[in-house]
Amino acid sequence: MSTAQLTVTQAGPHVTFQDAGRFGKMRFGVPTSGPMDRASFAAAQAVLGNPDEAGAIEISPGGLTLACDAGEVSLAVAGGGFQVTLDGVRHGAWTVLTLRAGQVLTIRPGFWGCWTYLSFAGRLQVAPWLDSISTHGPTGLGGGLLTEGQAITLEETRVVAPRAIPLPLWARPLSEVPVVLGPQDRFFAPETIATFLGATYALSDAYDRMGVRLNGPALPPNAALDMPSEPIARGSVQVSGDAVPTVLLADHQSTGGYPKIATVLSTSLDSFVQLRSRQRLRFQAVSPAQAIALVRSRRLAMGRYLEALRPNPG
């Protein structure tokens, strides 16, 4: 059986192991975690013919450098517009390459995007927690954060032909973000809702896998915040006591007591998280029925794109 041995020679903060996610455990306080940008993660797996639930490395703007000590393995990078360098040679941001013993792979932030995915034609040897290697950022449970000097073993490694991965339209950062109002929009006056939908917001520096605080007009709730804690969905736009909205992301708390003025559509989160701190956006309200229609058409297009990426069997 062919294997490859890698060493992490540099890893920035928030660089973690992720698979598709840890599903169905939210009732026990465990969010799904998994990739911040699920669409780009899926592209990185499909292009290598990997199963949807295979493990990968999620790379933040902190970047990652890997040295290959033994063996060889093909890999894919997809998500954002990062700088990918193999032994000093620059490659496209969305690409399939082969890393061989003695070579060094460097991934650094580029002109755009916040998260990129490094998948392998081989199996990552990472211990799961609750059946998933996805890292829960706040606790480090799961595969965990990558650290300098860490060894990574890949088994059943394969080598495939290098290629560029076509960049789909929906992988771009999104500055018009569709939301469904609620479930607690009733805690806000109509003029506050109008502000939320009419104003321009920007991502703040308070941005991690749990969520991102936004800068922009305040959204004061019109009632005392005494609601019992209740379940939170990924994509919730939560307004804390200081009237500041926060979009809750992959590692969000499963319950909380602040009102949620709106919730971002599931497929729009993938491109929302590719916005960087200080980049601007506007929210657009859509009805629940419009949300279903938008998500279905996106999923259909994504399914066709991923099918076309997959290598032909045999």
Partner 1 sequence: MSFAYPVFRPVADHGLLVEFGDRIDNGVHDQVLRLDAGLSAESVPGFLEAVPAYVNILVRFDPVLTDHATVEAALRRLIAAPAVARRPGQPREVRVCYEAALAPDMAAVVAATGLEAEAIIAAHLAGDYRVYMYGFAPGYAYLAGVPEAIRLPRKTAPVRGTAAGSVVIAGPQCLVTTMIMPNGWWNIGRSPTRILDGGDSDRPFLFDVGDSVRFTRITREQFEAESRA
Residues making contact with partner 1 (CB under 8 A): 23-30, 128-131, 136, 138-139, 141, 179-180, 182-184, 186, 227-233, 235-236, 253-256, 263-267, 288-289, 291-292, 294-296, 299
Quote the least distance from Cβ 247 to partner 1, whole Å. 12
* 250 alpha carbon, distance to own chain's centre: 7
In terms of CB distance, is 169 or 289 closer to partner 1? 289
User: How far apart (Å, rounded) are the C-alpha atoms in residues 251 and 246?
Assistant: 13
Quote the least distance from Cβ 84 to partner 1, whole Å. 33
Quote the least distance from Cβ 296 to partner 1, whole Å. 6
Quote the least distance from Cβ 39 to partner 1, whole Å. 15
Helix (H, G, I), strand (E, B) or coil at 299: helix
User: How far apart (Å, rounded) are the C-alpha atoms in residues 273 and 3?
Assistant: 34
In terms of CB distance, is 92 or 256 closer to partner 1? 256
Say if CB 42 and CB 302 are below 8 A apart: yes
In terms of CB distance, is 194 or 292 closer to partner 1? 292
In terms of CB distance, is 82 or 188 closer to partner 1? 188
Q: Is 228 left (phi over 0), alpha (psi -120 to 50) or beta?
A: beta
* 265 alpha carbon, distance to own chain's centre: 14
In terms of CB distance, is 22 or 213 closer to partner 1? 22
Quote the least distance from Cβ 108 to partner 1, whole Å. 32
Quote the least distance from Cβ 12 to partner 1, whole Å. 24
Q: How far apart are the first and last CA of the chain?
A: 19
Give 281's strand partners: 201
In terms of CB distance, is 76 or 264 closer to partner 1? 264
With helix as H, strand as E and coil as C, how does 2-67 read? CEEEEEEEEECCCCEEECCCCCCCHHHCCCCCCCCCHHHHHHHHHCCCCCCCCCEEEECCCCEEEE
Quote the least distance from Cβ 188 to partner 1, whole Å. 14
In terms of CB distance, is 101 or 292 closer to partner 1? 292
Quote the least distance from Cβ 280 to partner 1, whole Å. 22
In terms of CB distance, is 200 or 229 closer to partner 1? 229
Quote the least distance from Cβ 245 to partner 1, whole Å. 15
**Helix (H) / strand (E) containing 301:** helix 288-309
DSSP state, 232?
-
User: How far apart (Å, rounded) are the C-alpha atoms in residues 314 and 176?
Assistant: 42
In terms of CB distance, is 90 or 304 closer to partner 1? 304
How many Cα atoms within 13 Å fall on the side-chain side of residue 273?
A: 30
User: How far apart (Å, rounded) are the C-alpha atoms in residues 87 and 84?
Assistant: 10
Length of the chain: 314
